[in-house]
Structure 1
Amino acid sequence: MSDSLWRHRDFMVLWSGRTLSEVGDAVSMLAIPLLAVTVLDASAVEVGVLAATRMVAYLFLSLPAGVWVDRMRKRRVMVVCHLARAGLVATVAVGAWAGWVTMAQLWIVALLSSVCTVLYETAHQSFLPSVVAGDQLLDANGKLTTTYSVSRIAGYGVGGALVSALGVARTVGVDALAYVVNALSLLLLRRPEQPPAVARGRNFRRELGAGLSFVFRHPIMPRLVAASASLNLFSQMIFALAVLYLVRDLRLSEHMVGVVLALTTLGGIGGGLVSARLARLVGTARIIWIAPLGLGWTVLLVPAAQPGWGPIAYTAGMAGLGAVFAIYNAAAISYRQRVCPPDLLGRMTASVRWVIFGVMPVGALTGGLLGSWLGVRPTLWVAAAGVWASGLLLYLSPLRRWRDLPDEAVAPDGGQPPTRLPAPHGRSPVDPAGKAMGGVRGG
């Protein structure tokens, strides 16, 4: 059994820096849409476009990002991306303070920031296995997921108060400072990063194809990818319209918008804290479909909300969605990291994220367009139903027959994963020669 992550210095440094960065990012995610809605009087379509441009790089950059990250030192990539994002966000703060900010500027900054985000997140997921041991990954990912939710509470709560007290310009500047501090924290890690493998005769297309092939010829991953993509598509329709819905339909003040958005992240905190224990108790395969089907129905409370008592229903519904993502993602990401060969981690991560994050700008833009055409509330009903139904993609697959997913996959010659499924009821899968392949280990 590995030592507790609470005594793991490098993980604590990595975790602390990411926490601060996430807090600043949450401040920006609240302040910039508020700037668009309250100062620039943005329409539902314009808000949807703004949300989409924050993620559009996943569509055209995710796949090559995996190849590039596998060729470079991942910590260096993360530092450069943080510094670049700090500069981009600072231009919004300056523009808002000077009074010449426009929707076009917000779209451009969001687009360029999404490029940095793709590179950073691909590098981060590929870097984590070099910081912690394999049997600590589930615990580490659970803590990082919890951090995301805690940071949203702090960021939204503080952001709402800062917008009311200081205005948008100074508030957005907080995010730029947080990115700089996180970049500096990465330089404090003691454990040296293994240099990327040097291979002769590199072929970009072949390397890119290897990541895609590993994912889509794997016996489990395509099912996880499909469900994750569906969850992200419909949830982004909700997120894209969140500020508009709270301000114009539920008639909340800027400060109350921050408070409500902060409270919605409580579900993610709870889900992140119990994700590892719950996965071991229920089963690492079962928890993947139980999470969306068992908790996803709570999202229906979001479109049911009305002025007056509505903020309570909205908070409960979005907290349920946060718990779904925390529990589901901790199990799915940890599984992907453990079964993938180290030299393919960047490309595997990029291939998965190309699909599951590539649909996010589509969802955000669809939410904006449908919100303008059908109205915001009917669009939220469609999206909420879609979130819950995403779990059916997993329940109606062979996954529902298994308690646990395999601990690791041994790839044969050519780098392809074995085409077997885990044994039912938690028993270790066995290869044709009769050799036990191992079950899921505890955190």
Structure 2
Amino acid sequence: MPSPSRPGLLREPDFARLFAATALGQLGDRVVFLALPLVAIVALHADEFQVGLLTATTTAGSLLVGLPAGAWVDRLRKRSVLIGTDLARALVLLTIPMASWAGLLTMRRLYAVALVHGVLTVFFDVAYAGCLPHLVGRDRLLEGNAALSAVRAATGIGGPAVAGTLVGWAGAPATLLAGSFGMAVSGLLASGIRTREPRPEPSERRRLGREIKEGLTFVLRRPALRAIILSDALFNLFLVMYQTMLLVFLERGIGLGSFGIGLVLSGMGCGALLGALCATRVSTWIGHGRIIWLAPLLTCPPTALMPLSRPGWSVYVAAAGLAALSLGGVVRVVAQSSFQQALAPDRLLGRTTATARFVSWGGIPLGGLLGGACGSAFGATTTLWIGAAGMTLSVVPNALSPLRSVRGFPTAHDPEFAR
């Protein structure tokens, strides 16, 4: 187990490899985040509902395989899952530029790629969260999560600007080549991790339903975890409604080109980087439980600046509100991810992550559909208002839970968190 007196985690070879793999994978992911909907908006001239349906399809994997993914990943070594899913995602993304060059690109094909990519991402994320405790030890989870959040935030700054430039130069379909390349290299870097977690003990009669139920029971019987995933579900529902119409608003309402949209999203990356850099200090100062609900309470309201903006300088003032949202979001995610990992025993790490993801991400496809429907019925501006209000109100379950006064990380043996 690492001790606090040891050098920083980046000096430890295996964590450095995970850090580098995260950087390349997230750079690819940032490119995909911008380029995939722009393929629909610009190349295929999709309407608001089709953009919302694409968002829903991208995130439907959480509902389709969210719970069994945790049980399956707990049967495997997490490193192997990371490598396999990264390489598979890279191959899936390649089909978009290939279809475009062949003149076969359609919205149906885009939906199919988004769905498969989303399912693979569920397995990747579950394995990723379960891998970290084995690499750094439970006493350094906050440090490890903060460092990985920092690199994700840094790629969030450069990624959209690079992606916006590539979209303007080569077109949105071809830009996905960069996303595919980033994920492929991420998988190769992850293959260099030498630390091997203990092989999961085989069971004579493994029953998927029983394993899923065990993970659900562990999470849902703990008030703090229940509150976290409920608040997350509400936040993600309204965030996706907001994000679904954000690109439409910026491209059609404000008149920003792909480079300008990339700059706005890069500003969000700046906020996320600042949040990652200060997450450990702020969480320790305010309390690991309290920061989970205070951070979004303070940083969600400024998102209302975006629907107030007009072409010109005001849109960049509104972008500062999005940067604040990212800052608070990273501080919250670092704290609550570390909280969940500290509370879960090793054999349930995958299922705890998958259960939390299934519930808290379950509203994301619905958010995409609602965002598209609201955009079609009321316009992108009104949808942004609804999203901003909903994100702010999502703090209520956490604020009313035991998290309102928790300062340190729990263990499964703490009476307050046992049930």
TM-score (norm 2): 0.96
The whole-number CA distance in structure 2 between the counterparts of 1:28 and 1:398 is 38
* Aligned position for 2:23: 19
* Aligned position for 1:415: none
**Would the aligned equivalents of 2:49 and 2:369 in 1 still touch at CA under 8 Å?**
yes
Q: Which moved more, 1:12-21 or 1:139-148?
A: 139-148
* Aligned position for 1:33: 37
Equivalent position amino acid for 1:245 in 2? F
* Aligned position for 1:413: none
Deviation sequence 1:174-204 (CA, Å, 0-9, x none): 1111111111111111212221122222221
* Aligned position for 2:376: 372
- 3-state SS of paired residue (1:41): coil
* Aligned position for 2:416: 420
The whole-number CA distance in structure 2 between the counterparts of 1:80 and 1:403 is 38
Structure 1 residues 167 and 219, CA gap change in structure 2 (3 angstroms): closer
- Superposed counterparts of 1:377-416, under 5 Å: 377-400=381-404, 402-410=405-413
* Aligned position for 1:95: 99
The whole-number CA distance in structure 1 between the counterparts of 2:132 and 2:270 is 25
Report % sequence identity: 36
The equivalent position to 1:354 in structure 2, one of 351, 358, 361, is 358
Deviation sequence 1:191-238 (CA, Å, 0-9, x none): 122211222222211111000000000131101111111111111111
* Aligned position for 2:326: 322
Deviation sequence 1:262-319 (CA, Å, 0-9, x none): 1222111111111111010111121111101122211111221212123213311211
**CA displacement at 1:421 relative to structure 2:** 5.2
The whole-number CA distance in structure 2 between the counterparts of 1:42 and 1:264 is 25
* Aligned position for 1:363: 367
- 3-state SS of paired residue (1:420): helix
**Would the aligned equivalents of 1:48 and 1:365 in 2 still touch at CA under 8 Å?**
yes
- 3-state SS of paired residue (1:265): helix
TM-score (norm 1): 0.91
**CA displacement at 1:342 relative to structure 2:** 0.2
The whole-number CA distance in structure 1 between the counterparts of 2:31 and 2:134 is 30
**Would the aligned equivalents of 2:245 and 2:383 in 1 still touch at CA under 8 Å?**
no
* Aligned position for 1:81: 85
Which protein has the larger Cα radius of gyration, Structure 1 or Structure 2? 1
Structure 1 residues 227 and 37, CA gap change in structure 2 (3 angstroms): same
- 3-state SS of paired residue (2:300): helix
The equivalent position to 1:105 in structure 2, one of 75, 92, 109, is 109
* Aligned position for 1:114: 118
**CA displacement at 1:419 relative to structure 2:** 5.3
- Superposed counterparts of 1:170-209, under 5 Å: 170-209=174-213
* Aligned position for 1:434: none
- 3-state SS of paired residue (2:416): coil
**Would the aligned equivalents of 1:96 and 1:168 in 2 still touch at CA under 8 Å?**
no
The structure 1 segments of at least 4 consecutive aligned residues displaced by more than 4 Å after TM superposition are: none
Equivalent position amino acid for 2:335 in 1? A
The whole-number CA distance in structure 1 between the counterparts of 2:317 and 2:245 is 16
Deviation sequence 1:316-354 (CA, Å, 0-9, x none): 121111112101110101011011110011111111000
* Aligned position for 1:223: 227
* Aligned position for 1:71: 75
Structure 1 residues 77 and 313, CA gap change in structure 2 (3 angstroms): same
**Would the aligned equivalents of 2:39 and 2:173 in 1 still touch at CA under 8 Å?**
no
The whole-number CA distance in structure 1 between the counterparts of 2:81 and 2:417 is 36
* Aligned position for 2:317: 313
Count of residues in correspondence between the two structures: 415
Equivalent position amino acid for 1:409 in 2? A
The equivalent position to 1:161 in structure 2, one of 160, 165, 168, is 165
Does residue 51 of the first structure (1) align with residue 55 of the second (2)? yes
- 3-state SS of paired residue (2:182): helix
The whole-number CA distance in structure 2 between the counterparts of 1:366 and 1:93 is 29
**CA displacement at 1:48 relative to structure 2:** 0.4
**CA displacement at 1:97 relative to structure 2:** 2.6
Equivalent position amino acid for 1:195 in 2? R
